[in-house]
Structure 1
Amino acid sequence: MYQFLKAYGLFLILSGLTPLLLWMTGAISGEGFKDAALITTLWLIPLWWNPTRIRSLSAFIGIGIACLALPGLAYFLVYRQELTQSLMMILFESNQTESQEYLKNYFVWWFAAVFLVYLLVPYQLWRTLQPAQLSRSKALSYSMIAILLALTSPVNHALHGHWHLASKSIDRHFGATAPFQLILGYFNYQKQLAEVEGILLSMRKIPPLKNLTEQAKPEQTTLVLVIGESTSRLHMSLYGYPRNTNPELSKIKDELVLFDNVYSPRPNTIESLQQVLTFADQLHPNDYKNKPSLIAMMKQAGYFTIWITNQQSLTGRNTMLTTFAKQADRQYFLNNERQQNAFSFDEKVLTPFAKSLGDPHQKKLIVVHLLGTHMKYDYRYPKAFATFKSGQGLPNHALDDTQVDQIDSYDNAVRYNDWILSQLISTLKAKRQHSLLVYFSDHGEDVYDSAPYTFQGRNEATPTLPMYSIPFMVWHSNDWFNRSTTFAGIQTHRQYDNADFIYTFAEMVGLSFDGFKADESLVNTAFLQDNILVGDPFIGKLKPLPGTQQFNANKLALWNPGYLAEH
C-alpha cells in the first residue's frame, strides 16, 4: 500500500498544487483543493488493477496531468487567479500579436525555476516507486471507494434523472482540478460561446428603431452607464441609512440627481437586465427578442460602444450578460474567476475606464458593470474598507453574531462601492468632456432588513422591499445639453420600475424614435408613476411589491383578472 500512497502523492502534487496555492493566498476557498484531493484517487484505479506496472502507468498519467496543469500554474503565478473558461474566451479571441505581448510582458525567468521544482518533486517520488501486489477483490473495493468519493454528487443527481444538475456538479467539482480544468474549461467555453453567438445572430436580425433622431450636442460627447450588483439603497447613507456607507459620494451630493423611489423589475441579475437593457418589461417579457437592446439603439445613433465588466463573463448563468457585452464595439472582461466566492475587486475597472475616456471617437457610450455587493460580501472589498464591525450603529432586532457579521460585511461592501463610484465620477469629471453618467443597481438585497429579520438574500417567491429597492443617480457635466430643461426642477420621488430604463436613458441623451413612450420616461413631464409588479412573468401571475403604491388597478386587472377580486 505504501507504493500506492507515494503514487497518490505524486498525482496530488501535480493536480492539487495550484488550487492549494489559490486557497493559501485567499483567491478562492479551500473547496478546490478538497476536490483535487478526492478526484486524484481516481488516478489510482489503473494502478490498483495493474500493480506490477505501477511505474509505467504513473509516468504516463503523471505526464498527462503535468502538461495540462502547467497553464493553470502559470496563470496563478501571473495573476494569482484561477484559470477558467472566461479566461479562455479572452485568450482564444486574442490575435497573435496580443498573445506575443502577453508572453513578453508577463513571463519572467523565475517561472522556469518554479516549473522545474513543480516537476522535480513528483519525479523524485516516481523514481522510488516499486512494483506492488494487490488482489482483485481489494482492487475492486478500492476502486468503488474512489468512485464514491469523487462522483457521489453527480451520480446521485443522475440516478434521480437530474442530468443538468449532474453536469453542473461535474463542472463544479472537477473544474478546478488538472487535467479536467483545461478540458472542461475548453468544452464549456465552446458551448457557452455557441449559445452567445446564437443569441447575437438572432439579435442582429431585429430591425432597427424607426425614425431614430438625436438632439444636437457638442462634438465630444461621453455617456457612462454604471450597473451595480445587489446593492440596496436602503443600506446607503445617501438615502438615509444611519451608517455612513457613502462618505465619498456625500461630498459631491449637490452634483448628483438622486432618485429615491426606483425598483428593479426582478431580483436576479440576468432576469432584471434582460428587461432593463431592452424594451421588455414584466407585462411584455419577450420583447427583448424582437426589439433592439440599449446597446443596439446607441450604435444605431452613431455611438462607439465599450463594455467593461467585472462580472464573470462566460458561465452558463451569465450567457445573456456576455451577449450584451459582445454587442458592444469593444469589451473588457476583467473577472476570470470560476467561482463567485473569489476576490475580484471592482477597482479593476478603473484603468480600462480611464483608457476608454481617452478614446478618440466623438460620441461614445461606456458601460461599466460592477461586481458591487454580490454575495459573499466579504469577498467584495479590500481589508482597508472593513470599517463596520461588531454591529455598531445597527437597529436592535435581536440579531445573532452571524447575522451581525453579514450586515457588517455588506455595509463594508457598500462603502467600497461608494469609493468606486466616486473614482469613476472624478475620472470622468477630470476629462472635462460633455458627459453624463447614470448609476443604478441591477437589484437589491435583503440583509436581515425585513421582519422577522431572519432572511438574507433574494427570493422572488416571497418578495420584500429591500430585494427590489435600488439606487438610481445621475451626474452630468455643467454644459450638458439639456440640463436646464430635462433636469431642471425634476421630481425625484416618483415611483419607477427600472424595466423602463431604455425610455428614460433615451430622453436623457436626446434620442427619439417611433414608439417612444413619454409616460415611461422618469425625466419626462408626462411620466406616469409605475405599479411595481413582481414575480416570474413566464410562469405565473404578477403581484404588487409589498410596501409600494398602487396607481392603476385596471392595468393590473388586464394581466391578472383575479387581482381586483382579491383586493
Structure 2
Amino acid sequence: MNTTNPKASIWPHVAWTYLLFWYLTSTTQLLLSTFGITSFEGLKDTTLTAVFWLIPILLLPKHTKKVSAILGVAIWLFALPAFGYFLIYKQELSQSLIFIIFESNKAESSEYLLNYFTFPILFKFIIFSIIPIFIWKRIPNHLAISNKKGYVFALIILMLFIAHPIKKAVMVGKASVAYKNLNKHLVSAPPWQLILGYSNYQRELKEVESFLMKFNQTPPLDNFSELKKPSPTTVVIVIGESSTRLHFGLYGYHRDTNPKLSAIKDELSVFKHVYASRPNTIESLEQVLSFADQTNPDLYKTKPTLIAMMKQAGYKTFWISNQQTLTARNTILTTFAKQTDKQIWLNNARAQNSYSFDEKVLEPFSETLKDNAEKKLIIVHLIGTHMSYKYRYPKSFDYFKDSKNLYAGLSEDKIQKINEYDNAVRYNDSIVYDLIQRLKSTNQHSMLTYFSDHGDDVYDSNNHEFQGRNEYSPTLPMYAVPFITWSSKDWFTNDLLKNSATLDRQYSNADFIYTWSQLMGITYKGFDQAKSIVSNKFKDYPIIVGNPYDAKSLKKLEIN
C-alpha cells in the first residue's frame, strides 16, 4: 500500500500511522497495567501522547512513510530499555530507577546485564521490533491531504496537547505548572521517559546535593556524650506509611489486623497515645528526624538531624527504603537518607499506584545486620499502607473480603476500600514482625522502634464519608499513629520502656528525637527531657496540628 487514491479517505492511513506510534510508546505500559504492576494511568498518558507524533506527519504529508520511519526508529531505540526492564524485573523504568542506576557502580550494572541478557529475552526483543515493521508497511508514501489542511490539523493537535497544562498554569498563576503538568504525562512514554527522566534526575540531584551540603555544614551538637553500651549494638527505626493505629488490632481494633505482633505483645512496648504532627510524609518526617516541630518547622535546616546525631555518636548508619526516591516531593527525604553511610533503594516505581511489596526490605535488612560495625543504626522506610491500598499487599493477604464488623450502611465501594486497607495493615504487621525476629536472632544488644509517619482516615469519621487526609480539616485517624518498641532483654534502658505509666502518655512524634536520645543514653546541650515520652520529667501538652507556615490553620487535635 504505497500509493494513495486521492479520493479515498485519509483517516485509515492516519490510523495506521497512529498505531505505529502507539505501539512503540504504549506496549510496555499496556503490559505493566495488564499484569497489574501499575495502574492504567501510564497507558492512558501514552495513548494520548502518541497523537503528538502525528504532527510531523501532517506538516510533511508528502513524506509520510519516510518521516514515520525516522521517528519510528528513534522512538523504538528509546523504548527498548523500558521494554527490557519490564521483561527482566516486571517493573516500570522510572526516574527513581535512573537514580538507582547512577548510584550503583559499573561492576554491579555490568553484572545485571550479563546475568539477564539471555536468549529468551533476545527473542522477545526481536518480536517487539518486528511488529512495528509490519504496521509501517501499511502506511502510505504520502497522505492525500493539502498542506493547508495538514497545518490546521497539526495546530489543532498541538493546541489540544497543551491546552490542559496552560489552563492549569493560568489557574495557579505560574508558568512552571504547565511544564510540570506536561512532564507528568510525558514521562511515561518514550523517548520522553529517558530524556525527561534523566533531566529530572539531574535537577533533583542538584537540589539534594545543595541540601546535603547545608546539612553537612551544620555544626555538631555541643556537650555531647553517650552512655557506654555492650558491643555490638544495633538500633533500628522502622518508619511506616499512612498507617493509623485505629485499624490496628494491637490497639483494640475489632478486626484481627495484627495477628503476629499481638502474639509477641508481651515483648513490645506499645505506646497508646502517640500522634503525628502533620498528615503528609515529607512534612512529618522533617520534624520526626530532626529538632524541628510545629513551633519551629525549619530547625531541620540549621540543627543536626537524628542521623547526624547518631553519626556523631559513632554509629555506622544505613537507610533501606521501599519508597520512591528522587521525585520532586521526595527531594528533602532523599537528602535525609543520603546522610547515612549506605543507602539501599528498592522502589523504582514512577507512580505510587504500583506494586512494590515491603517484603523487599527483608533480605537487605538481614544483610545489613551482618555488617561488623560495633554500633549500627538501620532506618527502614516502608511503603506501608499508602494509597492505593490494593497495591500494598500480595494476593495471599487478601484476608478481609466482606462487611463483617464494619459500620452499618456503607456502600460496596467503601467496604472494598476498608477491606483493602485492613489487608494492607495485616500485611504490614507481618513485615514489622519479621524485622523484629531477624533483629532478635542476632542476639545483639539491640532495639527496634516502629511508628508510622502519619495515618489515614478510611471512612472512620465525618459520618463515614471521608477517606484520605486533609491538613485543613483534621480528623483523629489522620494523626493517631502506632508507636511500638521492641528491645533485647539486656537493653540498658528497658526500665524506661516497661513503665506502664509511660505507655499511656499523650505525645507528639514531632519530639521523637528527644525520646530517641534518651533511649540511646545520649545527652547534649539543648536536650529537653520534658519532650521525651520515657522521661520522668515529661510534661504533658496538647497535640497541635496544621500547617505551621499558616498560623490560622494550627489547632488542637480533638482526641476524644
Which TM-score applies when normalising by structure 2? 0.95
For residues 418 and 497 of structure 2, what CA distance do their matches in structure 1 show? 38
Question: Aligned ranges for residues 51-200 of structure 1 at < 5 Å?
Answer: 51-132=61-142, 133-160=144-171, 161-200=173-212
Instruction: Give the structure 1 partner of residue 52 of structure 2.
Output: 42
Select which of 345, 350, 353 maps to 1:333: 345
Give the aligned length: 547
1:159, distance to aligned residue in structure 2 (A) = 4.2
For residues 488 and 543 of structure 1, what CA distance do their matches in structure 2 show? 30
Instruction: Give the structure 2 partner of residue 394 of structure 1.
Output: 406
Which range is displaced more, 422-431 or 123-132? 123-132
For residues 383 and 355 of structure 2, what CA distance do their matches in structure 1 show? 10
* Matched letter for residue 354 of structure 2: A
Change (3 A) 1:535 1:484: closer
1:36, distance to aligned residue in structure 2 (A) = 1.4
For residues 68 and 546 of structure 1, what CA distance do their matches in structure 2 show? 53
For residues 485 and 273 of structure 1, what CA distance do their matches in structure 2 show? 24
CA contact (8 A) 1:490 1:523 kept: no
For residues 286 and 186 of structure 1, what CA distance do their matches in structure 2 show? 30
1:58, distance to aligned residue in structure 2 (A) = 1.3
Instruction: Give the structure 2 partner of residue 405 of structure 1.
Output: 416
CA contact (8 A) 2:61 2:150 kept: no
Unaligned regions of 5+ residues in structure 2, if any?
1-9
Instruction: Give the structure 2 partner of residue 466 of structure 1.
Output: 477
Which range is displaced more, 371-380 or 480-489? 480-489
Select which of 462, 467, 482 maps to 2:493: 482
Q: Deviations over 1:325-369 (max 9, x none)?
A: 111100011111111111111111111111111111110000001
Local SS of the residue matching 1:337: coil
CA contact (8 A) 2:269 2:497 kept: no
For residues 296 and 238 of structure 1, what CA distance do their matches in structure 2 show? 33
> Are residues 1:456 and 2:467 paired?
yes
For residues 159 and 536 of structure 1, what CA distance do their matches in structure 2 show? 25
For residues 121 and 391 of structure 2, what CA distance do their matches in structure 1 show? 28
Local SS of the residue matching 1:312: coil
CA contact (8 A) 2:236 2:447 kept: yes
Q: Deviations over 1:133-166 (max 9, x none)?
A: 2112321342234224433321322344342332
Local SS of the residue matching 1:316: coil
Local SS of the residue matching 1:452: helix
Local SS of the residue matching 1:226: strand
Change (3 A) 1:490 1:357: farther
Which range is displaced more, 520-529 or 447-456? 447-456
Local SS of the residue matching 2:293: coil
Change (3 A) 1:485 1:41: closer
- Aligned-residue CA RMSD in angstroms? 1.4
1:425, distance to aligned residue in structure 2 (A) = 0.7
Select which of 21, 32, 39 maps to 1:22: 32
CA contact (8 A) 1:387 1:412 kept: yes
Instruction: Give the structure 1 partner of residue 524 of structure 2.
Output: 513
Q: Deviations over 1:151-188 (max 9, x none)?
A: 33213223443423322221221111111111111111
Instruction: Give the structure 2 partner of residue 261 of structure 1.
Output: 273
Instruction: Give the structure 1 partner of residue 261 of structure 2.
Output: 249
Instruction: Give the structure 2 partner of residue 428 of structure 1.
Output: 439
Unaligned regions of 5+ residues in structure 1, if any?
549-567
Q: Deviations over 1:70-111 (max 9, x none)?
A: 111111111111111111111122222111112122222222
For residues 540 and 191 of structure 1, what CA distance do their matches in structure 2 show? 32
* Matched letter for residue 44 of structure 1: L
Question: Aligned ranges for residues 427-446 of structure 1 at < 5 Å?
Answer: 427-446=438-457
1:389, distance to aligned residue in structure 2 (A) = 1.6
1:15, distance to aligned residue in structure 2 (A) = 1.1
* Matched letter for residue 123 of structure 2: A
Instruction: Give the structure 1 partner of residue 4 of structure 2.
Output: none
Q: Deviations over 1:380-424 (max 9, x none)?
A: 11111111122111132x222111111111111111110111111
For residues 357 and 464 of structure 2, what CA distance do their matches in structure 1 show? 29
Question: Aligned ranges for residues 243-322 of structure 1 at < 5 Å?
Answer: 243-322=255-334
Instruction: Give the structure 2 partner of residue 8 of structure 1.
Output: 18
Q: Deviations over 1:418-468 (max 9, x none)?
A: 011111111111111111000000011111111322111111111111111
* Matched letter for residue 543 of structure 1: K
1:124, distance to aligned residue in structure 2 (A) = 2.5
For residues 551 and 495 of structure 2, what CA distance do their matches in structure 1 show? 44
> Are residues 1:535 and 2:521 paired?
no
Change (3 A) 1:119 1:485: closer
Which TM-score applies when normalising by structure 1? 0.94
Instruction: Give the structure 2 partner of residue 557 of structure 1.
Output: none
For residues 485 and 461 of structure 1, what CA distance do their matches in structure 2 show? 36
Change (3 A) 1:243 1:315: same
Which range is displaced more, 94-103 or 539-548? 539-548
For residues 299 and 153 of structure 1, what CA distance do their matches in structure 2 show? 48
CA contact (8 A) 2:320 2:364 kept: yes
For residues 406 and 488 of structure 2, what CA distance do their matches in structure 1 show? 36
CA contact (8 A) 2:61 2:147 kept: no
CA contact (8 A) 2:496 2:534 kept: no
CA contact (8 A) 1:38 1:149 kept: no
CA contact (8 A) 1:304 1:364 kept: yes
1:517, distance to aligned residue in structure 2 (A) = 0.5
Q: Deviations over 1:18-77 (max 9, x none)?
A: 111111111111221222122111111211222221122112101110111111111111
For residues 551 and 494 of structure 2, what CA distance do their matches in structure 1 show? 42
> Are residues 1:227 and 2:239 paired?
yes
Instruction: Give the structure 2 partner of residue 565 of structure 1.
Output: none
Which range is displaced more, 369-378 or 537-546? 537-546
For residues 293 and 82 of structure 2, what CA distance do their matches in structure 1 show? 42
Select which of 460, 470, 491 maps to 2:502: 491
1:127, distance to aligned residue in structure 2 (A) = 3.5
* Matched letter for residue 25 of structure 1: F
For residues 136 and 372 of structure 1, what CA distance do their matches in structure 2 show? 55
Q: Deviations over 1:204-256 (max 9, x none)?
A: 11100112111111111000000001100111011111111000101100000
CA contact (8 A) 2:55 2:158 kept: no
Change (3 A) 1:185 1:209: same
1:486, distance to aligned residue in structure 2 (A) = 5.6
> Are residues 1:383 and 2:404 paired?
no
> Are residues 1:206 and 2:243 paired?
no
* Matched letter for residue 151 of structure 1: I
For residues 74 and 365 of structure 2, what CA distance do their matches in structure 1 show? 41
Select which of 25, 42, 45 maps to 1:32: 42
